[in-house]
Structure 1
Amino acid sequence: MNKDSFNNRSFTVSQVSETSLLVSFHEPVGADLSLFIADCGKAVNHHFAGTVVNTVPSYNALLITLQPSSEQNCVEKLNRVLLAVPRKKTDGQREAIEIPTWYDPEVAEYLDEITEKTGCRLEELIRLHTGQTFFVYMIGFCPGFAYMGDLPEPLRLPRRTVPQTKIPAGSVAIADFQTAVYPLAMPGGWNIIGRTPLTLFDAGRKQPGLLQQGDRVRFKAISREQFLQQGGLL
């Protein structure tokens, strides 16, 4: 591939390996930018059909991996493709996906510590978390892990200094301006505030991940009894 970079008023295309290009967008992180990056990924998959291996969107960048034998001057071609992608506004009327969540120390070991750090009583924490409509900015870290924002200011805590060695699947968490649900059991450093009975990732489903980039999400508080009735595991 051609080793040049191309600077544009809104993005930069750079070669980061023999087969990979990184598109960096020069604007604040937001829902409109996230949707634009997703559309850029679709355009790349279309115009580079047969040569693109993978596209990976993030908050403000798009990583593109191409076949080793890809054509020369692909940076220039990529720039032309991206410049032709129209900008769209977030659809605020799009129906939100509801995630039932049980907020309780029984499924969130350090919940008392979290309420102390935020200065919020548990009832207030639940009200703030369930009162917000979140936007899925990107999927990353592991299959089905959706990075959602933006948290209300009172709930914004840094990641834990000492990660937990095993966080159960379905754990609802907060960190910085983001919230997320752990789709699988794994180590993690986010602050756990509850658990959902929903399965966020199932490789056997037609669409394995419950949440996709661009989705709108709301959390709904449920009781212990409802959590168990809906298939939740302790």
Structure 2
Amino acid sequence: MRIEALNENSSIVYLGDEISDDVSARVGRALAIVRQSLGPLLTDLVPSYTSLLLYYDPDRIDHEQLHQYLVELLDDDAADLQESVSSALLEVPVYYGEEVALDLQALSEFAGLAPDEVISIHSDSPYRVYAIGFAPGFAYLGKVDQRIAMPRMQKPRLRVPAGSVAIADSQTAVYPAATPGGWRIIGRTPMQMIDWESDSLTQIEVGAEIRFRPIGRQEYLDLGGQLDEDVANEL
């Protein structure tokens, strides 16, 4: 662990040197510990792939005091930091139907696999939340099996529907809201990924794990999922 001051009201804690499940779990655990223990002294917490950025109130604490608190909280708890934020997986239902899987065929051809094989590989293993960013609730998940890893589009779409499940290189993600984006869309979830009541604005924290569960068209609709024609009728 390495702690550095950035300016008079922020410091960064480095918890590893490479992107991995272990480091991501450490970041998630550190996030929970720091939020619980130092929350009133902080104005913001920003977890990333290997670090935790802290913004604090300089009228209540300075860098040296913060540094000492962090050493006591995190260094002595090094073994515990290897644990996941939660032992439970968050299950995300996904409809991989052709109406919503805009790039599934292209990815299948790129990988030399049948669409069903791509779906099976994508939903076979859990994914770790490496970072949250780009847009509120957008969680970067990894790592994708190299057999289905595909570079993002050279020309992004102007609008990716909310709930779209996508792949870019070795990461996968769910678009929590309709935004521009260049990831390869292979399905859609009816699950609401944004949680406006949480600090991270998402139902999952950095370091947690999720698993995608394939569902059929009717279950997708029964769970509140929308198809593109339904979205268009609302506009």
Question: In which range does the TM-score fall when normalised by the shorter chain?
Answer: 0.7 to 0.9
Provide the residue aligned with 2:121 in structure 1. Answer: 128
**For residues 13 and 203 of structure 2, what CA distance do their matches in structure 1 show?**
27
Compared CA separation, residues 169 and 80, structure 1 to 2 (3 A): same
The correspondence for 1:35, drawn from 25, 31, 43, is 25
Provide the residue aligned with 1:86 in structure 2. Answer: 78
- Structure 1 counterpart of 2:75, one-letter code: L
How much has 1:180 moved relative to structure 2?
1.0
**Contact 2:26–2:83 (8 Å) recurs in 1:** no
Provide the residue aligned with 1:8 in structure 2. Answer: none
**For residues 35 and 66 of structure 1, what CA distance do their matches in structure 2 show?**
23
User: Per-residue CA shift, 1:62-114, capped at 9, x if unaligned?
Assistant: 111111333252464255233223323446x9332221111133113232222
**Contact 2:24–2:207 (8 Å) recurs in 1:** yes
Normalised TM-score (structure 1): 0.83
Provide the residue aligned with 2:8 in structure 1. Answer: 18
* Contiguous gaps of at least 5 residues in structure 2: 228-235
User: Structure 1 residue 197 and structure 2 residue 190: aligned?
Assistant: yes
Compared CA separation, residues 94 and 71, structure 1 to 2 (3 A): closer
**Contact 2:16–2:23 (8 Å) recurs in 1:** no
Query: What's the Cα RMSD here?
Result: 2.7
Provide the residue aligned with 2:233 in structure 1. Answer: none
**Contact 2:128–2:141 (8 Å) recurs in 1:** yes
Provide the residue aligned with 1:230 in structure 2. Answer: 223
The correspondence for 1:95, drawn from 73, 82, 88, is 88
How much has 1:42 moved relative to structure 2?
3.6
How much has 1:166 moved relative to structure 2?
0.8
The correspondence for 1:118, drawn from 105, 108, 111, is 111
Instruction: State how many pairs are aligned.
Output: 224
Q: 3-state DSSP class of the match of 1:84?
A: helix
Provide the residue aligned with 2:58 in structure 1. Answer: 68
Q: 3-state DSSP class of the match of 2:176?
A: coil
User: Structure 1 residue 183 and structure 2 residue 176: aligned?
Assistant: yes
**For residues 96 and 31 of structure 1, what CA distance do their matches in structure 2 show?**
14
Q: Which moved more, 1:67-76 or 1:209-218?
A: 67-76
The correspondence for 2:146, drawn from 143, 149, 153, is 153
How much has 1:40 moved relative to structure 2?
2.4
How much has 1:162 moved relative to structure 2?
1.3
Percent identity between matched residues is 34
Normalised TM-score (structure 2): 0.83
Provide the residue aligned with 1:215 in structure 2. Answer: 208
* Contiguous gaps of at least 5 residues in structure 1: 1-10
User: Per-residue CA shift, 1:101-145, capped at 9, x if unaligned?
Assistant: 111331132322222222221011011011112222232222222
Compared CA separation, residues 45 and 24, structure 1 to 2 (3 A): same
User: Per-residue CA shift, 1:147-201, capped at 9, x if unaligned?
Assistant: 2112111111122221111111110011122111111111112111000111111
Provide the residue aligned with 2:101 in structure 1. Answer: 108
Q: Which moved more, 1:192-201 or 1:39-48?
A: 39-48
